[in-house]
């Protein structure tokens, strides 16, 4: 089997570390893994695919000879280096928001719209974590009933705010339980206490009262599903959970819905586990979705407040399906389709 050279930009960050872990777990056919990061992290040694490897500073020349580069170092670095990588015949899979709404860049969840990869011009965008997890449950229902609109409320883990998210939660819990301040406590990642609290504020607010995170749900869903007129309303909430996001969804469809068909399509969809046994209190929860490749869906029921509506609950690991795993699946799908250099 042919092997490929892959670079990881942001290899010392939370998502970068998960990419390294998943490349090994999924036995990705890599002949070289090149670890790239900022000058501050360059020189660090990291365990990757059974070897100690030295992290290199990201420069335009870092991409020479690579087949793929997965970017997980923020939008600024993606804008700075992605096109430099493409110039060197390296396919970029970008985890930031830099290129998601660029009409020339495919925005891909491989279980949903893999055919979009055939039209790439060197850069492929990974969706926002909440969008990817939400659509894993919505898409099979859309195929069966025809999606008209949906409402979503996200319950997003603190690790989605970066490395400081779990640290902030730990510090606050310790202070509340012990009654004493944490020595050398770091500034919180959140604008309000997160321990034993919910914060209805993820990302920055716009003039219309929505946050950028909330608008991503609609914009990205319309692009991935090829439904330009899809109506979406979303509220994003940060919750005191370490890992894995949860989303409550109320979706309305064009065609008449029924539970047996809904359960059948959800149960048979690749990458999704149907988890529901109400007599045994069995339903998706973030604690059971952490470090799982599949998302979980359950609490499926007819929506009493809309015509042809279904209400359901989905959970997924935002570091995996919402970022690292989806990026690797994109690379795997491109290999299977033999479309790495079809366009650019």
What would the DSSP string read from start to end of 44-84? Answer: -EEEETTEEEE-EE--GGGGTT-SEEEE-S-HHHHHHHHHH
Question: Is 343 contained in some domain?
Answer: no
Q: Are residues 290 and 141 in the same domain?
A: yes
The pTM is what?
Answer: 0.96
Q: Are residues 163 and 305 in the same domain?
A: yes
> Looking at residue 142, which CATH number applies to its domain?
3.30.360.10
> Distances in Å between the alpha carbon of 272 and those of 6, 75, 206, 224?
27, 29, 33, 17
Q: Are residues 149 and 59 in the same domain?
A: no
Give the per-residue pLDDT at 344.
59
The number of residues making up the chain comes to 344
Cα 325 to Cα 16: distance, rounded to the nearest angstrom: 11
Q: Structurally, how many domains does the chain consist of?
A: 2
Q: Is 71 helix (H, G, I), strand (E, B) or coil?
A: strand
With a CB cutoff of 8 Å and minimum separation 6, the contacts of 281 are none
Give which of 290, 297, 234 is closest to 264, Cα–Cα.
Answer: 297
> Distances in Å between the alpha carbon of 50 and those of 26, 53, 69?
14, 9, 20
Q: Are residues 215 and 279 in the same domain?
A: yes
Residue 299 DSSP symbol: E
Sign of the alpha-carbon dihedral angle for 317, 320, 322, 323: positive
Give the per-residue pLDDT at 343.
54
Give the per-residue pLDDT at 51.
83
Residue whose structure tokens are 């893994």: 33
Q: Are residues 213 and 300 in the same domain?
A: yes
Residues 141/147, Cβ–Cβ less than 8 Å: yes
Question: Is 344 contained in some domain?
Answer: no
Q: Are residues 82 and 185 in the same domain?
A: no
Question: Is 327 contained in some domain?
Answer: yes
Q: Are residues 118 and 235 in the same domain?
A: no
Residues 78/105, Cβ–Cβ less than 8 Å: no
Regions in the chain scoring below 50 on pLDDT: none
Cα 84 to Cα 60: distance, rounded to the nearest angstrom: 6
Q: Are residues 32 and 145 in the same domain?
A: no
Digit-coded pLDDT (tens) for 201-211: 999 999 999 99
Give the per-residue pLDDT at 50.
81
Cα 269 to Cα 251: distance, rounded to the nearest angstrom: 18
In percent, the amount of the chain with pLDDT more than 70 equals: 99
Q: Is 62 helix (H, G, I), strand (E, B) or coil?
A: helix
Digit-coded pLDDT (tens) for 87-114: 999 999 999 999 999 999 999 999 999 9
331, two tokens: 């690379």
Question: Is 246 contained in some domain?
Answer: yes
**Residue 272 region by backbone torsions, left for phi larger than 0, else alpha for psi between -120 and 50, else beta:** beta
Q: Are residues 113 and 165 in the same domain?
A: no
What's the domain range around 174? 131-317
Q: What are the residue numbers of the active site?
A: 129, 245
Question: Is 342 contained in some domain?
Answer: no
Question: Is 163 contained in some domain?
Answer: yes
Distance of CA 191 to the CA centre of its chain: 23
Tell me how many degrees the CA angle 151-255-108 measures, rounded to the nearest 5: 55
Q: Are residues 180 and 298 in the same domain?
A: yes
The two counts, helices (H) then strands (E), for the chain are 8, 14
Cα 298 to Cα 300: distance, rounded to the nearest angstrom: 5
Q: Are residues 158 and 107 in the same domain?
A: no
């Amino acid at each position: 089997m042919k092997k490929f050279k892959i670079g990881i930009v942001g290899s010392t960050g939370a998502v970068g570390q998960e990419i390294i872990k998943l490349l090994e777990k999924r036995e990705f056919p890599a002949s070289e893994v090149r670890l790239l990061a900022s000058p501050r992290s360059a020189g660090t040694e990291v365990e990757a695919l059974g070897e100690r490897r030295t992290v290199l500073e990201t420069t335009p020349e870092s991409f020479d000879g690579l087949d793929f580069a997965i970017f997980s170092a923020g939008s600024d670095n993606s804008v700075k280096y992605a096109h430099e990588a493409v110039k060197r015949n390296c396919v970029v899979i970008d985890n930031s928001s830099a290129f998601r709404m660029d009409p020339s860049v495919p925005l891909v969840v491989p279980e949903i719209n893999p055919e979009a990869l055939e039209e790439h011009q060197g850069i492929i965008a990974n969706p926002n974590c909440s969008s990817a997890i939400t659509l894993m449950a919505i898409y099979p229902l859309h195929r069966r009933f025809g999606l008209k609109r949906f409402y979503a409320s996200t319950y997003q883990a603190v690790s989605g705010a970066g490395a400081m998210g779990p640290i902030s939660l730990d510090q606050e819990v310790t202070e509340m339980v012990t009654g004493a301040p944490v020595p050398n406590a770091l500034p919180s990642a959140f604008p309000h206490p997160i321990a034993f609290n919910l914060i209805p504020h993820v990302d920055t607010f716009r003039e219309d009262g929505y946050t950028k995170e909330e608008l991503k749900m609609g914009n990205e869903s319309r692009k991935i599903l090829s439904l330009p007129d899809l109506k979406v309303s979303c509220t994003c909430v940060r919750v005191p959970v370490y890992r894995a996001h949860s989303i409550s969804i109320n979706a309305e469809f064009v065609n008449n819905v029924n539970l047996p068909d809904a359960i059948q399509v959800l149960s048979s969809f690749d990458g999704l586990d149907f988890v529901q046994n109400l007599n045994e209190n069995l339903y998706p929860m973030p604690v059971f979705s952490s470090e799982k490749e599949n998302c979980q869906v359950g609490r499926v029921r007819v929506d009493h407040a809309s015509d042809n509506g279904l209400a359901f609950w989905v959970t997924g690991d935002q570091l995996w399906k919402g970022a690292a795993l989806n990026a690797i699946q994109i690379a795997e799908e491109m290999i299977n389709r033999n479309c790495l250099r079809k366009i650019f």
